[in-house]
Structure formats: structure tokens, C-alpha cells
Amino acid sequence: MKNRVVITGLSAITPLGTGVEKYWQGLLEGKSGIDTIKSFDVSNFATQIAGEVKDFDAKDYLDRKEARRMDRFTQFAVAGSTMAVEDAGLKLDTIDKTRMGVVLGTGVGGMDTLEDTARLLHEKGPNRVSPFFVPMMIANMAAGQAAIALGAQGPNTTVVTACASATNAIGDAFKVIQRGDADIMVTGGTEAAIVPLALAGFCSMRALSTRNDDPQKASRPFDKERDGFVMGEGAGLLVLENLEHALKRGAKIYAEVLGHGATADAHHITAPAPGGVGAARAIRDAINDAGLRPEDIDYINAHGTSTELNDKYETMAIKEVFADHAKKLAISSTKSMTGHLLGAAGGIEMVAAALSVQNDIVPPTINYENPDPECDLDYVPNKAKNMTVRYAMSNSFGFGGQNATVLIGKYEA
């Protein structure tokens, strides 16, 4: 018999603010966290805007010396994991830490450290490269450092599936508990890739919005005038727990995790498969895994990147799976407010989905002003929507054609 898995803790470090309350209120109010990049000179870049985290100070969460030995993406992960565990009301000295694990997703790992160290090597030679360079840069160190901070000795893995990373990580953590390999898993995603090298790379691909004169209007998923995605940074982490374990300690429960779907397009390194066929299979697999029917679903937190093909093909995928029910679904892309957090996107988006299930309210897709005839569903335009959310899902689709969906629902005894 499979174990039931519930969400008992949440944390968010986002362009809308650090902390779940700031993030959730920002979403419901339709605020944008996107602005001109302040962390480096962008005057020579075609795109000069992003969703930067503005209110995070690592020293509020970490020892100053330890913080200096972590890349920003790891700082986000360690801070986020401790906040999520605190939100879950877990007393770490009373649990079996061999039954607690960490699965985190990240798209690129310590790119800031890599870029800075490459510059140092070029300018001053190999003897000036820090012995902490490798353990600061490698992608698995966010999960590793989070486990060290928590003392979590159970399964510890890192998922790197581009923009599907965090959603796949949550799905993997769900399966770990479901099959009985752990009682508690800290999961989600972290990313801090707003650095010159990454920005230049995405600019060269012409993947980013160039609406530099109006940053807050730049991310406009499903809108006909969309012209590319906007980079974001941050972390969204969740505590998943075996239901029996959670009930025994009287934990509050946000939602129940019910299904996970993961597929490959096997089509192209960056473009989604025509018609969103790979995405449709991931959505369908999550519904089947949960033992539900398409018409049971109320809300989808869409991948919705604000790029031409993604938004069109995701809409087609939803229509393919849900048929007539597609028109009755509430669908929103919170990337309209946060930008695209790459490998961390699915983390903060699952936090939003869990809060939607808990509170029966769906955040909007802002900047939806010019309907696209090819994107003709209910994207909850510009204003949050009060509605019963019994079942919700979060979609994430990444470069390399990697697709992931996680389905959650209201907890019922």
C-alpha cells in the first residue's frame, strides 16, 4: 500500500519578497517584481530587466563565514529549507533524521561563482582560485548544504532538468515518501542565475523580452504582445511528509500530493514539441497517477513563460488532455509577476498552488491585455479569482524537452 503524502511546510524567496506572506500577498494583489537589473551594469545588453530578489540578506539566516563559502543559489536553498521546516513546526531534535531527506532542483547551479572565478583565473592565475570554488559551484551543493543545516541523513539528490527541475524534484520527493524510504522530505528548487554570462546567453538566443522601458509589463504570458520571458531568481521549498507522521505530531496540512508525471519530447534542444504533445502526456500521467479524471481538476498553475511557442503549445496540451473541461479550468501564470526562475520556477509555483488549494483563491495572470486567438482559455486575467480549488496542478517544461507536472488536492481524512 502506498503512503499518503502531505505538504506541511512552505517557504519562498522571490522577486516579490522573501517569506511566504510577502510572496502570496504580492501574487493576489497582481504586483510585479520585475525591474531594471541593479546587480551589474546592463547598458550593453539587449535585455536589461529581470526579477531580482531585493530583500534577502544571507547573514539573517546563516553564519557570516559559512555564507561567504556558498554561492547565492545555495544560500537561498539553506535559508529556504530552514524557513520551510520552521513553518512545518518540525522540532529537529525529536525526529529520526535518517528518515528525513532533501531533493532540490536547480537549472544551472553556481553560475555566479563560476563566472567570478573564471575572471580571477584569467586575470591573476591559477594560484588565486579558491579551494572553495568547486564545492560552491557544483549543482548538488544546495541539497548537500541544506541537509547539513538540517542534519537530514535520508535520501539526498539533485534534479537538473532545466526549467522542469523543481517540479521533478517535488515529484521525486513525493515518490520517496510514497514508497516508504523516508517520512519527511524537504524539496523544491533554487536558482540565482541573473549574472552577465547567463543574461548574455539568453540574449543571444533571443529568448528574453526586450521591453526595457516598461519592466513591469514585460512578462505577459498568453498575451498576443508577448515577446519573450523575463529572468527571475529565488527559491521555493516545501516540506512533504508521510500523512501518518504528520498526524501523529499534529502538523498543519496545506494540501495532499497526489500525482506526478514526467516525460520527454525527444524533439529539440530548446523548442517544445509541436502541439505540446510531450507536455500533454506529463499532465495526463499526473492525473492517472493520482487516480483522478481530467474533469476533477479546478486550477492549473501554468508554465506560461511569455514566449510565443510555449504559451501556444501549453494551451494546446491542456485542450488535448481536458477536452471540453479545458474551458472550465482556471489557469494562471504567476511568472507574469515573478519572471521565470528557471530551475526554481516549479518550487515557488507549487507554493502558490498549495496556497490556492488551502485558501480557495487563484492568483491572476497580469499584463493580459490583448487576447491571442491561439490562447483562448481562462487565464484568470489581471485579478485574483475566488473559487473552490479542490484539485490543482503545476506544470513545468524545460529545455531539452523535459516536462513535469505535479498534482495536489485538498487534504481529506
Q: Give the residue numbers marked as catalytic.
A: 163, 303, 340
> Which residue, among 337, 313, 323, has the nearest Cα to 395 in the 3D structure?
313
Give whole-number Cα distances, 391 to 21, 58, 258, 378, in Å.
22, 35, 9, 17
Give whole-number Cα distances, 323 to 42, 312, 318, 328, 406, in Å.
45, 16, 8, 10, 20
Helix axes 141-150, 72-87, angle to 10 degrees: 40
Contacts of 218 (CB under 8 A, 6+ apart): 34, 49, 209, 211, 212, 227, 230, 306, 367
List 148's β-bridge partners, or say none. Answer: none
Separation of alpha carbons 119 and 111, rounded Å: 12
Q: How many CB atoms lie within 10 A of CB 131?
A: 8
Phi and psi angles of residue 256, each rounded to the nearest 5 degrees, phi first: -110, 135
> Which residue, among 194, 172, 177, 53, has the nearest Cα to 105 in the 3D structure?
172
Buried/exposed 324-355: b ≥16 CB within 10 Å, e otherwise: eebeebbbbbbbbbbbbbbbbbbbbbbbbbbb
Rg (CA), the chain: 20
> Which residue, among 124, 168, 160, has the nearest Cα to 395 in the 3D structure?
168
Contacts of 138 (CB under 8 A, 6+ apart): 109, 110
